[in-house]
Amino acid sequence: MSRRKLGRFCLGVSMLIAALGAVGCAGVLSSTPEQLVAARAKERWDHLIAGVNEWPKAYDLIEPSYRNTRSYKDYVDGFVGKVAWRKVEVLNVKCEPETCQVRLAVTAKLPFAGSEVTTGLDETWLLSDGNWYYHKPD
């Protein structure tokens, strides 16, 4: 392949990558609050289910005001040894301009029970500095 053809090929590939990147960003920007919050709620629970090495990532999805007043250790001490989460499903998300209510189905194995239990769980998510965060009740 000549240098000229190689240059055109590289330019074409570069333009294609740029176009795909722009489409990807547009897709994120055009997501509804419900879609964004559903994805973040699922992400948070996936981190919790993955285990202790992923829990800091779940902590990062909690509203900044909580993280400013409570340490990661305080957060983890609230649930260590109490439950083993197995799976989560986002059932419904309803949003207002700066708050969303999320309904989840969470499956867990309780230490005192021999089998897994699935239960409904409601969460509140708040918009803060352009991002959605889980509101951890006190």
Average per-residue pLDDT for the chain: 82
Q: Are residues 88 and 123 in the same domain?
A: yes
**What number of H helices and E strands is found in the chain?**
5, 4
pLDDT digits (tens, 9 = 90+) for 45-67: 999 999 889 999 999 999 999 99
Enter the DSSP assignment of 20. H
Q: Are residues 64 and 3 in the same domain?
A: no
CATH of the domain at 91: 3.10.450.50
Distance CA 84, CA 59 (A): 17
Place of tokens 């040894």: 81
Residue 105 tokens, joined:
């189905």
Low-confidence winner among 21-25, 30-34, 95-99, 103-107 (lowest mean pLDDT):
21-25
Q: Are residues 56 and 1 in the same domain?
A: no
- Domains in the chain: how many in total? 2
Question: Judging by beta carbons within 10 Å of its beta carbon (0-12, 13-18, 19+), is residue 136 exposed, middle or buried?
Answer: middle
pLDDT digits (tens, 9 = 90+) for 86-95: 999 999 999 9
Q: What is the pTM of this model?
A: 0.75
Enter the DSSP assignment of 129. T
